[in-house]
Amino acid sequence: MTGNYPSDLRREVDAALKTYFPSVDRQAGDLGRAMEYALYSPGKRFRPVLALTAASAVGGRYREAMPTACAIEFIHAYSLTHDDLPALDNDTLRRGRPTCHVKFGEDIAILAGDALLTEAFAIIVNEQLETAPTERVIGVLKEISKAAGIKGMVGGQAVDIIETGQEMDLETLRFVHEHKTGALIEAAARCGAILGGGTKQDIEALGGFGKRLGLAFQMVDDILDVAGSVESIGKNVGSDRENNKMTFASGVGVEESRRMAQETIDEAIAGLDGSVSDQDGLIELARFVIGRTS
C-alpha cells in the first residue's frame, strides 16, 4: 500500500469486522458464505479507517467508533457486490478474486448485497449504542441513511447509469462522483467526528474534508482504470471504456484529471484550516488518496 497508510488501523478493522458478522441460518444456504466472501476479501478498508481517524482527530477514542466504521464497510461491500452485477458494470474480477456473482450466482449475490446493507444498520443500532450516547447514534443513522440512499450513493449511481453512453458535462460528472463515491466517504468522516464528540464546527470541517477526499478518490479510481494494472488494482482495467462510461480521465485526459485530483486534495487539507485539533492522521490519508496505486 502506498505512502504511510495506517495498516495497524486497517488490521484492527479487519479483526472487528469478524466480530460483527451475523449468524446466518443454515437454511439460507450460500447467503452467509457470499456475504463473508464480499466482506472479507482483501480491501483497503479506507472508509472505516477514515471514520476512526476522524474520531481521533476531534479528540475521541477511536475504538468507540468501531461499530459504525465496520457498518460503513458492510455498506461499501454491498455497493461493490451490486455494482459488479451483469446489470450494472458486469465485472468478473474484484480485489483479485472472481466477483461475488461469478462465485455464487446472480441471485445470491443480489441477496448478499441486500443483507449486507441491512446488517449495517443492525450493527449501528445494536452495537454502537453500547459505546455512544443515543443522540450521537441517531446523528450517525441520519448521516449514513442519507449517504447510502437516493440523496447519496444510489442516487449518484442512477445518474451514472442514465448518462451512460453520453457526453456528460464536468458539472454532472462531478455530481456523479460526489454522490456515487463521495457521499459514503464524506459520511465516514462526519460519523467519526460525531462519535468522537466533535463540535458542530468539527463535524462540518470533517464533512468538507471527506467530501473533497471522496471526489479525489473517484478521480484517482478513474485514472487507475486507464493507467493501472490488473495485479495492482485487483480488477479488470478498461472497465469504464468497455461500459461506455465517461470519467474525468476520458473527459479531460489522465494528466489533467491527475492535476484536478491533486488540487482537490490540496483543498481538502487547506479546508481543515486549524479547525480540527489533530490533523496528522487526516493529512496522511489525504496523501494516500492521491498516491494510491490500488
User: Which residues sit at the interface with ligand GRG, rule CB under 6 A?
Assistant: 43-44, 46, 76, 79-80, 82-83, 88, 95, 153-154, 157, 180-181, 217-218, 221
CA pair distance 210, 204, nearest whole angstrom: 10
CA pair distance 79, 34, nearest whole angstrom: 14
* Min separation Cβ 95 and ligand GRG, Å: 5
* Min separation Cβ 104 and ligand GRG, Å: 16
* Nearer residue to ligand GRG within complex by CB, 93 or 252: 93
CA proximity to 228, closest of 293, 178, 180, 154: 293
CA proximity to 42, closest of 80, 14, 67: 14
* Nearer residue to ligand GRG within complex by CB, 82 or 258: 82
* Min separation Cβ 275 and ligand GRG, Å: 26
Grid coordinates belonging to 132: 455512544
CA pair distance 190, 174, nearest whole angstrom: 20
* Nearer residue to ligand GRG within complex by CB, 163 or 221: 221
* Min separation Cβ 215 and ligand GRG, Å: 11
* Nearer residue to ligand GRG within complex by CB, 61 or 146: 146
Q: Letter for the amino acid at 219?
A: M
* Nearer residue to ligand GRG within complex by CB, 132 or 220: 220
* Cβ neighbours around 7 below 10 Å, total: 12
* Min separation Cβ 77 and ligand GRG, Å: 8
CA torsion sign for 201, 204, 292, 70 is positive
CA proximity to 41, closest of 111, 116, 107: 116
290, 265 contact by CB (below 8 A): yes
* Min separation Cβ 153 and ligand GRG, Å: 5
Q: 85 vs 50, 90, 103, 107, CA distance in Å?
A: 27, 5, 12, 10
* Nearer residue to ligand GRG within complex by CB, 79 or 250: 79
* Min separation Cβ 198 and ligand GRG, Å: 24
Torsion of CA 117, 121, 126, 127, to 10 degrees: 80
Residue nearest to ligand GRG (CB): 43
* Min separation Cβ 136 and ligand GRG, Å: 25
Dihedrals phi, psi of 98, to nearest 5 degrees: -55, 145
Grid coordinates belonging to 44: 483497503
Grid coordinates belonging to 59: 479528540
